[in-house]
Structure 1
Amino acid sequence: MTGTTYSVLVVEDETMIRMMLVEMLEEIGHTVIGEAAHLEQAIDLATGINFDYAVLDINLAGRSSLPVAQIIKSRKIPFVFSTGYGADAIPTEFADNLAVRKPFTLEALRRTVHSLMTGANA
């Protein structure tokens, strides 16, 4: 754990994965302040609440979450992609963003978030 508690927006369409991710984030000491399962809900949260970073699934029920990524990026809030598709699924404009590949372990999530929040390379 980094010793710092961060507020997190979680965008994940799969209920069980979202629940597991929230649990993992809380276990590493962070507070999930918003959860979205659908694109419209994610857009509302990304524009309407304050958070320190986000974990963003690239594919939300067959729809791209890139509009959400663009909003978060424009707000200068760091985020990490969560994907089961690998690095090829990340569009070129976000190639520098960190990603954690599903299924991931608690330690992989911890390392990725630490890198995200400290500016280190994962």
Structure 2
Amino acid sequence: MSTDLPQVPPLDRLRGRRILIVEDEFIVSLEIEGLLTQMGCVIVGPAARVAEALAMIEGDDLDGAIVDLNLDGDDADGVIEALTRRSVPFIIVTGYGVGGLSPATRGLPRLSKPIATAELRTMIHRLFRGPGQLG
């Protein structure tokens, strides 16, 4: 008897997942929100400032997050720490190359700006690899 879980179509894995968007660029935020909504995710936010993001992290039950590393000149280290403390998986977004990243963020799942739709789609699927199971 097989103990493997049944395969769940990728969109079903995402349907209803609560994803926080932390992004200070309005157009980028709208693009991310539109794609995630098409994929069945429920959007939390967006938060454009560190304080807003921290309040949403503490006040909401999140399944994942997409976090810009630079929020209007402030770094998002506190946001990343809060997500990590709560075991919320996330993807970082940055306009900086690897050389501009801190040692703590270099190994994290990362999307470069401008964000390619196919890349975002692939990365969000990787956060949720199986039914009820985070990537």
TM-score, reference length from structure 2: 0.81
Where do 4+ consecutive residues of structure 1 move more than 3 Å?
A: none
1:33 Cα offset (Å): 2.2
For residues 39-88 of structure 1, what are the alpha-carbon distances to aligned partners after superposition, in whole Å with 9 as ceiling and x for unaligned? 11111111211110000000000000110100000101100001111333
Question: Is structure 2 residue 67 aligned with structure 1 residue 52?
Answer: no
Match of 1:109 among 104, 117, 120: 120
What is the SS of the residue equivalent to 1:93? Answer: coil
Q: Which 5+ residue runs of structure 1 have no aligned equivalent?
A: none
Match of 2:103 among 62, 87, 92: 92
Is residue 98–residue 116 contact of structure 1 (8 Å, CA) maintained in 2? no
| Residue identity opposite 1:18 in structure 2 | S
* Superposition pairs of residues 17-56 of structure 1, within 5 angstroms: 17-56=28-67
57-66 or 27-36, larger mean C-alpha shift: 27-36
Question: How many residues are aligned here?
Answer: 119
**CA offset at residue 95 of structure 1?**
3.1
Larger gyration radius, structure 1 or structure 2: 2
Give 3-state SS (helix, strand or coil) of 1:94's partner: coil
Of Structure 1 and Structure 2, the greater helix share is in 1
d(CA) in 2 for partners of 1:7, 1:113: 12
SS in 1 for 2:27: helix
Q: Which secondary structure does the structure 1 equivalent of 2:88 belong to?
A: coil
1:80 is matched with which residue?
91
Instruction: Give 5+ residue unaligned stretches, structure 2.
Output: 1-8, 130-134
What's the C-alpha RMSD, in Å, of the aligned pairs? 1.5
Contact 1:14/1:37 (CA < 8 Å) preserved in 2? yes
Deviations 1:97-118 (A, max 9, x none): 2011111222110101112222
